[in-house]
Amino acid sequence: MNPSLPQNLEEYSASSTTIKFDRPLPLLRGPILAGTSDDPSSGPYILAFKDLPSWAAAYKSCESKIISQCEEGARIGCAITASNKCKPPWWQSLIGKMHRLRQGKVYDAVSECENCSGGEGDMNKRVERST
Q: Which of 109, 120, 111 is nearest to 74 (CA)?
A: 120
Contact (CB, 8 A) for 31 and 46: yes
Q: Which three-class secondary structure state does DSSP give residue 62?
A: helix
Contact (CB, 8 A) for 34 and 46: yes
Residue 31 in any domain: the answer is no
Residue 62 in any domain: the answer is no
Domain count, the chain: 1
Residue 91 in any domain: the answer is yes
User: What percent helix, strand, coil does the chain show, rounded to 5?
Assistant: 55, 10, 35
Residue 95 in any domain: the answer is yes
Residue 128 pLDDT > 70, yes or no? no
- pTM: predicted TM-score of the whole model, two decimal places: 0.39
Q: pLDDT digit string (tens) for 79-122? A: 888 777 777 777 777 765 544 444 444 445 545 555 554 444 44
Residues of the chain above pLDDT 90, percent: 8
Residue 30 in any domain: the answer is no
Please give the single-letter amino acid code of residue 97: K
Q: pLDDT digit string (tens) for 4-23? A: 766 777 777 888 888 888 88
Residue 24 in any domain: the answer is no
Domain that holds residue 122: 78-131
